[in-house]
Structure 1
Amino acid sequence: MRGEWISYSALEKMGPDVLRARISESPAQAARWVEAGALNGLIHAQIAWGRMLIEGHGVPRDPQAGLRWFTVAATAGSADGTNMVGRCHELGWGVPVDLTEAARHYRASAQKGHAWAQFNLATLLLDGKGVPADRGEALRWYVRAARGGNAKAMTMIGRYCELGWERPPRPAAALRWYRRGAMGEDYRGQFDYARLLLERTGRLEAALPWFARAIENGVPAFCRNIGAGLREADPPALRLLARRALERAVATGEASDLRAYATALAEGLGAEPDAEAASALFARAREIEAAVPEAPAPPRRPPLRQRLARRLRYLAATALR
């Protein structure tokens, strides 16, 4: 396939769905097709090629080149490309972090109806990053993103309702919005829905599957927080979930996460103890810690008498010049 010539008509037939399938099946082989599509002006291919370059997915990582392709797509009028230029400025992909510039691109894309740009802009407005903090305007963009199907925006609307941002707390509305986010596979929505469901109704059996889904879908750092939060819970089923969350957090490769999971195994958190596995994890944590060079100790200040003597010698020397 590598030496096969790729016709423009073949590229035209390769829509976004086919493109995603090719990339997921064989990134290295798909790279030639995606690059060819990008060079031939197919906007969805330009964005996919930019992503592959940013992530080093099937090609050597080149964030600067990825940003250039997003810019090409944005210049052609792509809201998706404009949003990705904003991501580059927000996260420092191929360019220094510039939250003001990120917000500018998010707003331009959001005004075209791009749901992810609407969510990204809302988050900057909520946190006051790159733009003045404005919780009311952030909510308006979250609502528009949610209408566009963005599950994370649905979860954030639930948070507004639960915490009473912009209007008095409405726990029932929060529960409904968290459920929408959970159904959309947002792991934070799944956790918040399970948590509020348990708090409001006490229905442990209904909450457990959502806690489990949040753990399986969540990033390792989020799983670390779930594990720490659930490990002291009374129902044994929640402690078992805490054990699984701490296991998922080990993927960070950090010694502290290895130790936390090892401690859970040694203590028998939620299940039978596993001393052998715990011992192996503790050993790995020690290896990681030993491989990290110790920070140099700060210079010790000489005793006051020595500092005074040094200062007097300096003054004497300068006075004799």
Structure 2
Amino acid sequence: MREAWISYTELQRMGPDVLRARISERPEEAARWVEAAALNGLVNAQIAWGQMLVDGHGVLANPAAGLRWFRVAASAGSMDGVNMVGRCHELGWGTAPDAAEAARHYHQAAEAGHGWAQFNLATLLLDGRGVPPDRREARVWYMRSAWGGNAKAMTMLGRFVEHGWDRPARPAAALRWYRRGAEGEDYRGQFDYARLLLELTGRLDFALPWFARSIANGVPAFCRNVGAALREAPQPELRRLALRALERAASEGGEASDLRAYAAALAAGLGGLSDPASAARQFEQARDAELASRAEPATSTSSTEQRPRRSRTLLARLRAHFNSRTAAPRHPT
């Protein structure tokens, strides 16, 4: 960080994005002044401090204390706080998971115009968690969130339109929504835009950069699924991207299964040439990770791990698309 202590006045002027950036530089040092600012009633510091406690970022993890700070911010009228209380109830941070309670908080913040609460409420409505399933109402909230600039909501609207979840499917219109999500740096939007662009036009040269950006921006679980899908592609360019996705999942996720999948891809020459030496090192790391995981207690599956089923469905469509095509990619003039 540029300085070990930040004044209260500076913290008051600092927006949430800047505050998060400052915290990420040296979280252990930041914890002192974020906590002090939270105790002095600065709402954006209360939100930041709550998240640090939930994540164990720069401080020992204490999700229950994090939830208390989100509630303090919410009681001061912060819709960020209300939304985060909802997240705690949805994901079981510091409390038992309760989707109905999460929906109640999301609805309160969504009605006040909070973009992420609108997105979160729409997702519960789409999945029927904590509320009766209602695709039309989910679409309304995704639309409101998208109007506010939420790129992930734009991607979800693309899926609505592509798959006809509440009205006839219109893939060409879906492509426009996916492009908006992709340009807003949503990695799922980038992938869906590339996938549908390739499916509708066959233009691999247009799709490749977006596939690459989705892999560069995606979380390890997403990269794992993308690697599994793209490795079946007939085009060598996409298989090389599959190797890159598997590498990211292995290096950043560190799970034994990801390390093993990456090792197998290296041994098989997925990127072009077989690399037995690198594959052997990855297999050794996979073995070490597996031994280490046996000593750790098992954790229950959270709702965030349950949610990617729609992503898996879309990846299955991509695999089916590859299987229906010949090995030579189509490049229309």
TM-score range normalised by the length of the shorter chain: 0.7 to 0.9
Residue aligned with 1:130, SS: coil
C-alpha RMSD over aligned residues: 1.9
Q: Which residue identity does 1:264 align to in structure 2?
A: A
Q: Corresponding residue for 2:155?
A: 155
Q: Which residue identity does 2:218 align to in structure 1?
A: G
CA contact (8 A) 1:116 1:150 kept: yes
Normalised by the length of structure 1, the TM-score is: 0.86
Q: Corresponding residue for 2:203?
A: 203
Inter-partner Cα distance in structure 1 for 2:294 and 2:23: 39
Inter-partner Cα distance in structure 1 for 2:145 and 2:293: 43
Taking the TM superposition and a 5 Å limit, the aligned residue runs for 1:278-289 are 278-289=279-290
For residues 14 and 241 of structure 1, do their structure 2 counterparts lie closer, same or farther at Cα, with a shift above 3 Å needed?
closer
Q: Aligned-pair distance for 1:166?
A: 1.0
- Post-superposition CA distance 1:67-91 (Å, at most 9, x none): 0110011111111100000000011
Residue aligned with 2:245, SS: helix
Q: Corresponding residue for 1:86?
A: 86
Q: Corresponding residue for 1:131?
A: 131
Q: Which residue identity does 1:146 align to in structure 2?
A: A
Inter-partner Cα distance in structure 2 for 1:289 and 1:87: 31
Q: Corresponding residue for 1:224?
A: 224
Q: Corresponding residue for 2:275?
A: 274
Q: Aligned-pair distance for 1:18?
A: 4.4
Inter-partner Cα distance in structure 1 for 2:84 and 2:247: 33
Number of residue-to-residue matches in the alignment: 292
Mapped pair 1:60 → 2:55: no
Inter-partner Cα distance in structure 2 for 1:138 and 1:24: 34
CA contact (8 A) 2:5 2:33 kept: no
Q: Aligned-pair distance for 1:258?
A: 1.4
Q: Aligned-pair distance for 1:155?
A: 0.3
CA contact (8 A) 1:265 1:278 kept: yes
Q: Which residue identity does 1:275 align to in structure 2?
A: P
Q: Corresponding residue for 1:264?
A: 265
Inter-partner Cα distance in structure 1 for 2:17 and 2:258: 37
Residue aligned with 1:143, SS: helix
Inter-partner Cα distance in structure 2 for 1:70 and 1:276: 50
- Post-superposition CA distance 1:23-57 (Å, at most 9, x none): 12221222122112211111111111111111111
Q: Corresponding residue for 1:29?
A: 29
Taking the TM superposition and a 5 Å limit, the aligned residue runs for 1:1-321 are 8-9=8-9, 11-250=11-250, 251-291=252-292, 293=294
Residue aligned with 1:129, SS: coil
Inter-partner Cα distance in structure 1 for 2:6 and 2:244: 47
Q: Aligned-pair distance for 1:257?
A: 1.4
For residues 275 and 5 of structure 1, do their structure 2 counterparts lie closer, same or farther at Cα, with a shift above 3 Å needed?
closer
CA contact (8 A) 1:153 1:181 kept: yes
Q: Aligned-pair distance for 1:209?
A: 0.5
Q: Aligned-pair distance for 1:9?
A: 4.0
Asked which structure has the greater CA Rg, the reply is: 1
CA contact (8 A) 1:128 1:134 kept: yes
For residues 275 and 105 of structure 1, do their structure 2 counterparts lie closer, same or farther at Cα, with a shift above 3 Å needed?
same
For residues 100 and 201 of structure 1, do their structure 2 counterparts lie closer, same or farther at Cα, with a shift above 3 Å needed?
same
Q: Which residue identity does 1:189 align to in structure 2?
A: G
Residue aligned with 2:234, SS: coil
For residues 277 and 105 of structure 1, do their structure 2 counterparts lie closer, same or farther at Cα, with a shift above 3 Å needed?
same
Fraction of identical pairs, as percent? 72
Give structure 2 stretches of 5+ with no counterpart.
Answer: 296-333
User: Any runs of at least 4 consecutive aligned residues in structure 1 with deviations exceeding 3 A, and if so which?
Assistant: 4-18, 287-294
CA contact (8 A) 1:136 1:166 kept: yes
CA contact (8 A) 1:187 1:218 kept: yes
Query: Which deviates more from structure 2 when the two are superposed, residues 166-175 or residues 21-30?
Result: 21-30
Residue aligned with 2:113, SS: coil
Inter-partner Cα distance in structure 2 for 1:54 and 1:257: 26
Q: Which residue identity does 1:176 align to in structure 2?
A: R
CA contact (8 A) 2:65 2:94 kept: yes
For residues 166 and 277 of structure 1, do their structure 2 counterparts lie closer, same or farther at Cα, with a shift above 3 Å needed?
same
Inter-partner Cα distance in structure 2 for 1:38 and 1:292: 37
Give structure 1 stretches of 5+ with no counterpart.
Answer: 295-321
Inter-partner Cα distance in structure 2 for 1:62 and 1:134: 35
Q: Aligned-pair distance for 1:283?
A: 2.2
